[in-house]
Amino acid sequence: MKFKLLMAFVDVDKTEKLIDTARKAGATGATIITSAKGVGLKEAIGIFGFQVHSQRDVVLVLVEERRADDVLAQVVKVGGLDERLDTGIALLLDVDKALGLSEHVKLLEAQIPFDPE
């Protein structure tokens, strides 16, 4: 079974909704890295002249390849990632190998018949 890794860099207040949406679209779970700092195209200077970094969560979702595009589309929609410059981004990367997933694969194969191609 082939997988893709969805990486989403989003505002902290969008994380739970994003994970719920990814699950409904076919993802089986997620890993969240909290307190990531983001720097955008324009430097944000705060009241005392220091650069302001917006707090983000990095959400990592391993998705079965055939579901990946749909999960990505739903995450972008729910996260509002294409609305403004500062809403966050999402990436979809190929995964060469993924280990420790035998129970996930059984669950996914029950839902989507495996096609070895």
Cross-strand pairs, 19: none
At residue 47, the pLDDT reads: 67
The matching CATH number, chosen from 3.40.1360.10, 3.40.50.10470, 3.30.70.120, 3.60.15.10, for 3-111 is: 3.30.70.120
Q: Are strands 88-95 and 54-64 parallel, antiparallel or unpaired?
A: unpaired
Give the whole-angstrom CA distance, residue 79 versus residue 90: 9
Residue type, 71: V
10-residue mean pLDDT series, the chain (117 residues)? 91 91 86 81 63 78 91 91 80 91 73 57
Give the whole-angstrom CA distance, residue 84 versus residue 88: 9
At residue 103, the pLDDT reads: 75
